Amino acid sequence: MSSFFDKLKQGAAEAGKKAQSTIEVNRLKFQISSKEKEITGIYSRMGECVYHAMQNGTIEEISDQLLLFSEQINQKKAEVQDVENRIRTVQNEKLCPSCSKPATLDTKFCSGCGHHFVGHFSEEEVVDIKVMVVCPVCQVASDKGSSFCAECGHKFEE
């Protein structure tokens, strides 16, 4: 009889973990949605800036402002990528580096393109994700905390 109750407890614990995971994924997806709305707003402000500059004949004078908008968009996109990586961590998934199809952590070959995943990654390795910032001038990735682009020397906004 205690075996039955042990199995019942185990099932309830697993259901609780699954529910908690689902709640966390939904919370993270809401963050992504919010950041994507922010990106859309930046695109809108960028378009208005260009429109007004064209109307006033001052298009050459807004390059710094457009660069700032571009940096803000790149930052928000990096934040979205970070949240997407956290979702994959919660779901115990990894992305195929060849075709970007998600796969479980223990998968050895990608079901989308056949890519061979070398070695087995522990949870600690999967969680340790490096966040990068893309330089709006030369499009080279730099560490998120960098003040300047290592490739072209562009100063990142803080």
State pTM to two decimals.
Answer: 0.62
Per-residue confidence (pLDDT) for residue 106, from 0 to 100: 86
The model's pLDDT over 99-137, given as tens digits with 9 standing for 90+, comes to: 989 888 888 888 888 898 886 554 444 555 567 778 888
Per-residue confidence (pLDDT) for residue 124, from 0 to 100: 47
Per-residue confidence (pLDDT) for residue 125, from 0 to 100: 47
The model's pLDDT over 52-93, given as tens digits with 9 standing for 90+, comes to: 999 998 988 999 999 999 999 999 999 999 999 999 988 888
Query: Which stretches of the chain are DSSP H helices?
Result: 2-56, 63-90, 123-127
Q: Are 59 and 53 in contact (CB under 8 A)?
A: yes
With H, G, I as helix, E, B as strand and everything else as coil, classify residue 143. strand
Per-residue confidence (pLDDT) for residue 129, from 0 to 100: 57
> Mean pLDDT over residues 29-40, rounded?
97
Closest CA to 117 of 130, 103, 135, 137: 103
Q: How many CA within 13 A on the CB side of residue 107?
A: 18
Stronger pLDDT, 36 or 128, i.e. the higher one = 36
Q: Are 134 and 144 in contact (CB under 8 A)?
A: no
Q: How confident is the model at residue 1 (pLDDT cuts 50, 70, 90)?
A: low
